[in-house]
Structure 1
Amino acid sequence: MRLYLVPSPIGNLGDISYRAVEVLKNADVILCEDTRTSSVLLRHYNIQKPLTPYHQHNEHKILNHLVEQLQGGKTFALLTDAGTPGVSDPGFLLVRECLRNDIPVECLPGATAFVPALVQSGIPSNRFCFEGFLPLKKGRQTAMKALAEEERTIILYESPHRLVKTLEELAAYLGADRQAAVARELTKMFEETRKGSLGELAKHYTATAPKGEIVIVIAGKD
């Protein structure tokens, strides 16, 4: 009886630990944010186990059923599409419910996109705040105002089709000359980290449409 949180590669399939592969091979069931995405990784390592979808649209609905199975002695491994479960991905609700029911939970160390993005940005990494995805509507203006006063390095996740709008808004609230970096396609063939001011980055990605998963790293307020 145990829930394992297994970080999956954020791009390169080789970025998974030996231990993670062994946990996946020995689990009774693998919970997947998207079974199609996880199947690519599992086939690569010749892992054949029952898969159960577990994502933001069904996690409340199936939560009690999963806990009952764990209490019955099952061992589950939770995989999200990329990175560590629970970090801007499903996982928190299940972890909380397992702990409430005295079910052991173990998180393996592994990939999280914001760490390499932060370290290679050249922006101070000794103190930082991770905000994940900003609110799309309600609370977005409040979040921007709070970020404008943040003295630590700021880390955000963003999708390619919203990147330009977010950079423009950040430039308006934090100042167009605030230094930042945009990292995309981390660990993949076309990995890129572009550095500059928020204003410069907004102009660049207006002219050059971005692709891939994106991490924004922003210098804190002086």
Structure 2
Amino acid sequence: MNESSDKATGTLFVVATPIGNLKDITLRAIEVLQACDWVACEDTRHSQRLFQAHGIDSKTLALHQHNENQQAQSIIDRLLQGHNVALVSDAGTPLISDPGFPLIQLAHEQQLSVVPIPGPSALIALLSVAGLNTNPFTFHGFLPAKSQQRIKALEAWLPLSGTHVFYESAHRIVACVDDLLAVFGATTPVAMGRELTKTFEQVFRGSLNELTDLIVADRNHQKGEFVLAIQGQKADTDEQLTPEQRQLASQLQQHLPPKTAAKVVADHYGINKKQVYQFMLDAKAP
């Protein structure tokens, strides 16, 4: 393989695999998976479909969220014995909202060679076609499952700047989009990737209000795996807030935390909370 100069110990390869279309795998990834002594899979049965498609017959073992703390040391022992091991997840790049962190951490502690074999990633796939500003962007993985905690996490992004990317599951997508709408407002730019690279791939770009209409209108749009990206808007809040709204915001921020004061003003006048919050931040700026 010629990937490591260390002859005494094995190399741990972190291999990205397709997120849907089995052809989305690099020649190098196939070569490494074929040559490794072991492949640590998130689900060995799931990975077999990919292996069969590309003639990979390396021995496999399971490493997933329920056993990774225990299994990691076993894999380290194999590496110390000179075996080469590849780490793959069910789809995409390992450790990006997938198992593997304890193993990688232990490998570095043991000063073992850890080599990335780059390839597919759902968040990068969406950003490449979203037409949103990616300089900078922040990846959040999966948001909290419960609405109250999710809203709290979203409010921490205020005032919304840059682009924020996250994953969401089918059974939470409707509630999640409702929370996005409540926190960021109807006109906020958003991109959604659903079932990327798969048969029913869907890419949407528009406003949060338009995304809500799309998802609610057809239950088929609520199925699959989702990646969403939210982009901050630079708005002149002084022009959007009336004098009365600005006056109330200025008075309340003397007595309440900015986010609380912004919510009170927004609820009172039926306006976008982030606009009020940004106005208060701008007013405090030197």
TM-score (norm 1): 0.95
Q: 1:78 aligns with which of 87, 94, 97?
A: 87
The runs of 5 or more residues in structure 1 that have no matched partner are: none
Looking at structure 2, the residues matched to 93 and 33 of structure 1 have their Cα atoms a distance apart, in angstroms, of 14
Instruction: For CA contacts below 8 A with separation 6 or more, give which structure has more relative contact order.
Output: 1
Looking at structure 2, the residues matched to 18 and 204 of structure 1 have their Cα atoms a distance apart, in angstroms, of 38
Task: Say whether 1:23 aligns with 2:35.
Answer: no
Offset of 1:199 from its aligned partner?
Answer: 2.2
Offset of 1:2 from its aligned partner?
Answer: 0.8
Superposition RMSD in Å: 1.4
Q: Retained in 2: the 8 A contact 1:8–1:80? A: yes
Aligned position for 2:209: 199
Q: Retained in 1: the 8 A contact 2:73–2:103? A: no
Aligned position for 2:178: 168
Q: Deviations over 1:123-158 (max 9, x none)?
A: 112211111111224843331111232301111111
Q: Retained in 1: the 8 A contact 2:11–2:115? A: yes
Q: Retained in 2: the 8 A contact 1:148–1:221? A: no
Aligned position for 2:189: 179
Looking at structure 2, the residues matched to 6 and 118 of structure 1 have their Cα atoms a distance apart, in angstroms, of 21
Which range moved further: 129-138 or 40-49? 129-138
**Equivalences for residues 60-139 of structure 1 within 5 A:** 60-137=69-146, 139=149
Looking at structure 1, the residues matched to 159 and 99 of structure 2 have their Cα atoms a distance apart, in angstroms, of 29
The runs of 5 or more residues in structure 2 that have no matched partner are: 1-9, 235-286
Looking at structure 2, the residues matched to 140 and 93 of structure 1 have their Cα atoms a distance apart, in angstroms, of 26
Looking at structure 1, the residues matched to 159 and 233 of structure 2 have their Cα atoms a distance apart, in angstroms, of 6
Aligned position for 1:212: 224
Looking at structure 2, the residues matched to 198 and 156 of structure 1 have their Cα atoms a distance apart, in angstroms, of 15
TM-score (norm 2): 0.75
Offset of 1:67 from its aligned partner?
Answer: 1.2
Looking at structure 1, the residues matched to 91 and 225 of structure 2 have their Cα atoms a distance apart, in angstroms, of 10
Offset of 1:54 from its aligned partner?
Answer: 0.5
Q: Structure 1 or 2: larger helix share?
A: 2
- Give 1:174's aligned amino acid: F
Q: Retained in 1: the 8 A contact 2:141–2:166? A: yes
The secondary structure found in structure 2 opposite 1:130 is strand
Q: Deviations over 1:49-70 (max 9, x none)?
A: 1110110011012222221121
Looking at structure 2, the residues matched to 20 and 185 of structure 1 have their Cα atoms a distance apart, in angstroms, of 22
Q: Deviations over 1:90-144 (max 9, x none)?
A: 1221111100011110011111011120121111122111111112248433311
- Give 1:195's aligned amino acid: R
Offset of 1:207 from its aligned partner?
Answer: 2.2
Equivalent pairs: percent with the same residue?
Answer: 41
Aligned position for 2:155: 145
Looking at structure 2, the residues matched to 194 and 4 of structure 1 have their Cα atoms a distance apart, in angstroms, of 34
Which range moved further: 164-173 or 195-204? 195-204
Structure with greater Cα Rg: 2
Offset of 1:221 from its aligned partner?
Answer: 4.1
Q: Retained in 2: the 8 A contact 1:168–1:198? A: no
> How many residue pairs are counted as aligned between the two chains?
222
Aligned position for 2:261: none
